Structure 1
């Protein structure tokens, strides 16, 4: 009788060893969450917004805005921007010296999307008030995959240069 119970126990023991090994391997990983091949969210965008500013507008009805989106994950798309400062915030590019309104901008995987003077930028029309230097403008950046990201855009001098900080 012992032989029969021993034979029945072997598959159970083998099964338990396989389950233990699988559980043990599932816990393996870098643990730091910074791996590009993260098991928890493969291909997911990881966005960071920096360098946001608005030059103090010279007129009471229009303003521009600039910032950089750095993405250390999968691709995304900036689809729109909203703000209490204006009900009319549009995305623009500059091509061959001419400004063109855009419906959206790609945010490349492991890349950047720059909004800078002379290039891509935000246009605020029909302002609720003329923002002054030192003020902060609240924005909501709407992304196709990442959803809404809220930022605060400081109003700088009209001649502000982000490279020199003046």
Structure 2
């Protein structure tokens, strides 16, 4: 009699674990729900190059930022910073129910060969291109060259 009870316990445990696994991955195939916040560009010091920052919050399934376009530059690239070294990236994954941060000293956009040098107070139009969501248009305000979002200055 003990054997069937033990087998039943093992089967019940396996079904419970299988159920947990299915629940934890359920959102990976769900539609991404992206929100872009905190976008800003420090006023560039040089006439030819600028950086951009923002945060993507995802309350749905996983997605990937594949590129960024802007009328400010035909050459907008995605970069990561690791150990003080800047690396150009082809894309950035945005996890299900997660965030992707572009912040000073970390991931960032590089705008090269600017059509003009944007001034503080100006707004730069961007199109963020995602693998699943498609194109999301945002307006990136130009802040002071020393702007720090943590202090607001």
Q: Quick check: TM above 0.5?
A: yes
The equivalent of 1:10 in structure 2 is none
Q: Pick from 78, 98, 102: which aligns with 2:85?
A: 98
- Residues 77-136 of structure 1 show CA distances to partners (whole Å, capped at 9, x for unaligned) of 000000000000000000110000000000010000000000000000000000000000
Does residue 67 of structure 2 align to residue 64 of structure 1? no
Measure the CA separation in 1 of the matches of 2:100 and 2:89: 14
The residue number in structure 2 matching 1:47 is: 34
Partner of 2:18: none
Give the ranges of 4+ consecutive aligned residues of structure 1 lying more than 4 Å apart after TM superposition: none
> What are the superposed Cα offsets for residues 5-31 of structure 1, whole Å, 9 maximum, x if unpaired?
xxxxxxxxxxxxxxxxxxxxxxxxxxx
Match of 1:140 among 122, 127, 131: 127
Deviation at 1:64, TM superposition (A): 0.0
CA RMSD of aligned residues (A): 1.2
Please list every run of 5 or more consecutive structure 2 residues that lacks an aligned counterpart in the other structure.
1-25
Determine the C-alpha separation between the residues in 2 that align with 1:153 and 1:96: 27
Aligned length: 127
Match of 2:108 in 1: 121
**What's the TM-score once normalised by structure 1's chain length?**
0.75
Residues of 2 paired with 1:67 and 1:109: CA distance? 18
1:80 matched to 2:67? The reply is yes
